[in-house]
Amino acid sequence: MKMSEIQKHMLPVSSFVNVRVISLSYCDDLSSVALSDLLNEPSDLKILHVEGCNLVEVVFDIQTMMLTEDNGVLNSLTNLELEKLPKMTHIWKHGPETFKGFQNLTKLSVASCNRLTYLFSPTIAVVLSNIQELSITECKRLTVILDEGNEREITPNELLFPRLKTLELIDLPRLRSFYLGLHAFIWPLLDSVWIDCCKEMMIFTAGTSSTPKLTEISINGQIHAMEGDLNTDLQRLQQQVNGQNHAMEGDLNTDAMEGDLVLQWLQQQVTDPQWMQQKVTDPQWLQQQVSSFFIEPDCCYHFSYHFVSL
């Protein structure tokens, strides 16, 4: 059903008042205004999935939604999934300095939303106190997770995302930091951090980050034990990754023929052992090369191979 049919009241928006799950996929005529109107109705909505809706620029227009909601905006919502929204510039927009809402949102997943430059403003970050799982993937213009913003300052005593347990940052080529402002983050429950193909991210925050439960961190698919705080460990590991990439580039340049074989293997995913026997003079060397990863300007590829014994 097209969203225009809902807007024309062929199906009244009020019909959604008791809906608990809404999934909107590839609704080409779904606008931000129509989405806000739709989301004003369900008082028991728990899961919202929006994917491939090309006209959506804003998911939650807080100022509009607050006009009809005195007890809090979407307080029942627990899971928010946003994917392939090419025009979305804001998830939350135009919020007042203080408002009630999203008190039970525990899981947020954002993927392939290439106009986003940040996820949260300070006002929204304070409200989302129950976020436990945060996953951001393939958002090409994202530079920070939490924006410093002009609407208000974060006070030193404010706890941001205090219940965060899992953080995934994957294929974000312009991401510089989680937060560039000076703030002491305290994350007592954070025990899983996965940072993959975020080559510009050399610090986690400009301030300090306390993560007492975090014992290891995954960088580009490799698990590393924590040796210091999140900032120093991330900087150390990213420098190691960059050094490995430069070294690999040198190896490929010094032996062009073997380098061409690696690229051929990666592009065609050749698994024929006969091909290896005929073309590769040093199979062990090739195995070492293709078991690594390559980072390109706009994307990242990971490869996992099972090699047939020669």
Domains and CATH numbers, the chain: 3-244 (3.80.10), 255-301 (no CATH)
- Per-residue confidence (pLDDT) for residue 293, from 0 to 100: 38
Global pTM? 0.74
Mean pLDDT calculated for residue range 256-260: 47
- Per-residue confidence (pLDDT) for residue 305, from 0 to 100: 35
3-class DSSP state of 275: helix
In the chain the beta strands, taken as DSSP E runs, fall at 21-25, 47-51, 58-61, 79-83, 90-93, 107-111, 133-137, 144-146, 166-170, 177-179, 185-186, 192-196, 209-210, 216-219, 222-225, 294-295, 300-301
CA 293 to chain centre: 20
Mean pLDDT calculated for residue range 97-116: 92
When pLDDT is cut at 50, 70 and 90, the band that residue 3 belongs to is low
- Per-residue confidence (pLDDT) for residue 10, from 0 to 100: 44
CA distance linking residue 293 with residue 221, whole number of Å: 9
| Partners of 169 in beta bridges | 136, 195
Question: Residue 130: enclosing H or E segment and its boundaries?
Answer: none
Higher pLDDT, 97 or 288: 97
**Per-chain mean pLDDT for the chain:** 78
| Partners of 50 in beta bridges | 24, 82
* 6 contacts 41 by C-beta, under 8 angstroms: no
